[in-house]
C-alpha cells in the first residue's frame, strides 16, 4: 500500500486526481479529503475500492481521519 495526496481541486473519487507520495503526507483539518492509502495500479494511481470509498465517506461524515484516509481544511 502507498499514500496518495489529492491534487488541488481534484475529485477524490477519480484516481488520476492523486499523486503518489513516499510517505504519509502532512494533513491538518477535517473538512476535505487530503490523502488516501491504497494499493497502486500499474500507473501509480490509487485503486479506489468500494471499501476505501466507504471509509472516505465515514471519515468525512465523522470529521475524523481514519487508517487509510487523511483529511484537511479547505
pLDDT tens for residues 15-64?
999 999 999 999 999 999 999 999 999 999 999 999 999 999 999 999 99
State the pTM of this model. Answer: 0.95
First vs last Cα of the chain: how many Å apart?
A: 26
* Helix, strand, or coil (residue 53): helix
Q: Which residue range is the domain that position 38 belongs to?
A: 2-72
pLDDT tens for residues 62-72?
999 999 999 99
Q: What is the DSSP letter of 16?
A: G
Contact 68, 37 (CB under 8 A): yes
- Secondary structure percentages of the chain, helix, strand, coil, to 5: 20, 30, 45
What is the domain count for the chain? 1
pLDDT of residue 16: 99
Confidence of residue 13 (pLDDT cuts 50, 70, 90): very high
* Helix, strand, or coil (residue 62): helix
Amino acid at each position: 500500500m502507498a499514500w496518495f495526496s489529492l491534487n488541488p481541486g481534484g475529485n477524490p473519487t477519480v484516481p488520476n486526481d492523486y499523486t503518489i507520495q513516499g510517505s504519509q503526507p502532512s494533513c491538518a483539518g477535517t473538512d476535505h479529503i487530503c490523502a488516501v492509502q491504497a494499493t497502486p495500479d500499474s500507473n501509480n494511481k490509487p485503486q479506489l475500492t468500494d471499501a476505501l470509498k466507504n471509509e472516505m465517506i465515514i471519515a468525512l461524515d465523522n470529521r475524523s481521519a481514519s487508517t487509510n484516509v487523511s483529511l484537511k481544511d479547505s
